[in-house]
Chain A
Amino acid sequence: MALTGRTALLVALGALVVGLLLPSWAGIGTVTLPVLLGVLADLVLAAPVRTLRFERSGDTTVRLGEAATVELTVTNPSGRPLRARLRDAWPPSAWRPGTAFAGSRHALTVPAGERRRLTTLLAPTRRGDHHAHRVTVRSLGPLGLAGRQGSHHVPWTLRALPPFTSRKHLPSRLARLRELDGRTSVLARGQGTEFDSLREYLPGDDVRSIDWRASARRNTVAVRTWRPERDRHILVVLDTGRTSAGRVGDAPRLDAALDAALLLTALATRAGDRVDLLAHDLHRRGSVIGRSPNEILPAFTDAMASLEPALLETDMRALTACALRMAPRRSLIVLITGLDARPVEEGLLPQLPLLTRRHEVVLASVADPRLDELATARGTVQDVYGAAAAEQTRADRRRTAERLTRHGVTVLDAPPAALPPALADAYLALKAAGRL
């Protein structure tokens, strides 16, 4: 049960009657009793909450930062009209900031035996699954003094997918990819490039690419054209351990890593390569294997939606073993992890020869722009010590990157906004060089 402000107001106004006319227990009774009777009548006459029926429909997935609508249909099977306040409760991060209170509450009137539809507008601020909590209804009586209150469990899950903000870099990288296609002179013939076709010689073509044998068979000079290798295998390995939990700006490193992985996936799929995904910290957190080009991006975003950084040290040995199992033949392994000296030296370096023996390895790491800010801060003693510490950290990262480079790994260290295009460029460079 629940009371309304009207009850309290009536009883408070009754104080005037008691004070002026009937200053006694009898007076208090005379004033309060009718109000209490009204409350009782309301409780009896309010439409029942328990028998209400609910049904949900609406969006099940939404990109982070975009709005989703979830509809709630309320059916009132009782013989009394339902006049109610309703709260459709969702976790706080499912709401656009500041709208959690107003957005979840609805005023509702459902005549007897009818149904009404309510729309709840959600805009998740965190990646992952958001589950509807419960629907609470306060059904008021005809006098508006009191009402019945009860809750229903009406399950619904809204999955907030990674935002893929680096989509904007995709057109320019696809253009670069097309440039690689059909180039003759600039592109060096390597083991990774494939013979594409023969075409007529045009002035400006490299004379070294003239196919004399083919030219002999026809009466024009033919040149061979090459195209980038296709059907290569790429394995994106996300380290979801503690190094991915650190916040850069106001998002964890993992979010930038996901963005970079999505851009690479979109680009590589267009380039005709196959992409698999592995998320790993102490154990395997998720993987996407062998999807067709059409469904790979939805599959990736879906798998990434519920990834959260774990506060654990990543087991590099298990990660390497898992990656090797998923890449039985030569692949490009893109490892998105941290460049902190200790975890790399103790975890990754011993395992690296296993990976580089057969595979091309790219290590991408999210750098923190705050480190550069610290390094350039001057003025107070504190700033100078901060700058010294930042320089020390940068030197450590540089040393680690150098050690990895000596093992034949391509190392990328870029701030969150720059990492996805940097990774895409590194991929295109490897492809152009025919190293896949």
Chain B
Amino acid sequence: MTLTATRTGTAGSTSPTGRQLWLRSRWFLLFAVLLLLVGLLVAGLGSHGQYPPLDPRSPDRDGARAVVHLLEKQGLTTRTVDTEDTLADALAEPGSTVVLPEPDLMTTTQLRRLAQVRRGSDSRLVLISPEAAALAAFTPGITLATTANGIPKSAGSTGVPADCPLPEATLAGHAELGGLLYRPGADDTGCYPRFGAYPLVRHTDPGSRELVVLGSGRLLTNERLAKDGNAALGLSLLGSRHQLIWYLPDYAAAARSGDGSAAGPQRTLTDYIPEGWTWAGLQLVLAALLAAFWRGRRLGPVVTENLPVVVRATETTEGRARLYQRAKARGRAADALRQAARHRLAPALGVALTAGEPDPTALCAAVADRLGRPAAEVHALLYGTPPTDDAALVRFTDDLDALERQVRQP
């Protein structure tokens, strides 16, 4: 049935020329460039590093740039120190305020070393939320206020009256104090009492060397500075000397220097790989990219075609069977099976059909005659009541099959 013929159609290359490629992709390229520019712009506008809380450079809600900025406007010189050594030097400087947020992040050895520094005269050290270790190192007189179980007491920062003779506090009046609570030593001044303890304690050593312990630095944050007397208290606490030095530990640098402590920096797996192999890895990444391009390039597009509809012709019948089962339509199912059996039995026994149905009595009599079973029993099977449950339906079907078999092969 096959015939051979030569046929030359409108053959031609379907690959686009360079010009077509450019015309096709120029709007896409333009859009991509625009997207890149907008992305860079957004990134440039909104870019600032992630600062830790109470960082004097941070404009975030929990930063402390506002208070430092105000102090600078009043003529104070401010600077930050980031290593333990420079902090020790700063502590030794006379006429300075040193802020030490979260001193407990330092190791015990560091704290002990810093506490042994002979502090300059007329200086103030502000510890923000120090815990037991830092307190023990710097000022053994002040202790953490604890509950009966030995758990440190703390309170949420809310506006509270000063209620103490400290001039800074009396000037500021109400301020938001809270956080950790402390019990002052014998000569110390505790302010803003909360639950029988103090979130602000001042200790004075001879030579006007002051030490202020703050339960929380919340009143110094950009977000809360304008509330209550926070600004007044913060400015007077930090601005009493000509110089403000803020300790900002550079943890990454500390880890790099490996300062000999037992808990030295973790060396990652990459530190153990010789440097040459990172370059080799880079080269392998390049090879992987090329391999991806090699594998990703298809030899022509995928060919599609319309598929025919696949619907089994018995789909509706099977659907009807499921409907019968769900509706427990045993009567209807039994009727269908009975009718089919009657239609098969009637011609086998020579019973005539009238209007498509055999005569019941004649059929039953013929079946009973053939099998020697009572006609009533045969009638019950062929014309009886519907089965009451599924098990009965299965039994009924088996009985009906047996009857048919017996009639065919008595």
A residues adjacent to B (C-beta < 8 A): 2-5, 7-9, 11-12, 14-16, 18-20, 22-24, 27-28, 31-32, 49-50, 52-63, 66, 68, 85, 87, 89-93, 105, 126, 133-136, 138, 149-156, 161, 245-248, 252-253, 301, 308-309, 311, 366, 368, 370-371, 374-375, 378, 380-382, 384-395, 398-399, 402
Contacts and interface: CB of A to CB of B under 8 A. Distances in A.
Nearest to A105: B299
Given A14-B283, A92-B303, A253-B313, A3 B294 contact: yes
A18 B393 contact: no
A89 B103 CA distance: 73
B314 A374 contact: yes
Interface of B: 1-15, 275-284, 286-288, 290-291, 293-294, 297, 299-301, 303-305, 308-318, 320-322, 324-325, 332-334, 336-337, 339-340, 343, 356, 390-391, 393-394, 397-398, 401
A246 B279 CA distance: 63
A11 B333 contact: no
Contacts of A152: 11-14
Given A245-B311, A247-B311, A382-B321, 11 more contacts: A15-B283, A28-B286, A52-B13, A59-B4, A60-B3, A60-B7, A136-B299, A150-B14, A155-B10, A385-B322, A385-B325
Contact of A370 (B3, B312, B393): B312
B13 A150 contact: yes
A119 B65 CA distance: 79
B284 to A, nearest CB: 5
A305 B386 CA distance: 51
Contacts of B284: 12, 15
Contacts of B310: 247
B318 A389 contact: yes
Contacts of A23: 275-280
Contact of B317 (A5, A59, A371): A371
Nearest to A154: B11
Contacts, number: 244
A155 B280 contact: no
A43 to B, nearest CB: 13
A402 B324 contact: no
B312 A18 contact: no
Contacts of B5: 57, 60
Contacts of B282: 18, 28
Contacts of B325: 381-382, 385
Contacts of A56: 6-9
Nearest to A31: B283
Contact of A388 (B6, B287, B321): B321
Contacts of B311: 245-247
A93 B306 CA distance: 10
A59 to B, nearest CB: 5
B392 to A, nearest CB: 11
B317 to A, nearest CB: 5
A153 B14 contact: yes
A156 B13 contact: no
B321 A368 contact: no
Given A92-B305, A378-B398, A389-B336, A55 B11 contact: yes
Q: Which of A19, A58, A389, A393 has the most CB of B within 10 A?
A: A389
14 contacts: A11-B283, A11-B286, A55-B6, A66-B2, A133-B300, A138-B299, A153-B11, A153-B12, A246-B313, A368-B314, A370-B314, A381-B325, A388-B333, A388-B334
Contact of B9 (A4, A11, A154): A154
Given A15-B287, A386-B321, A393-B320, A57 B276 contact: no
Contacts of A54: 11
Nearest to B313: A246
B4 A58 contact: yes
A248 B313 contact: yes
Of A28, A85, A91, A247, chain B has the most CB atoms within 10 Å of the CB of A247
Contacts of B291: 5, 8, 12
Nearest to B311: A246
Contacts of B320: 389, 392-393
A398 B277 CA distance: 82
B1 A61 contact: yes
Contacts of B10: 153, 155
Nearest to B12: A153
A19 B313 contact: no
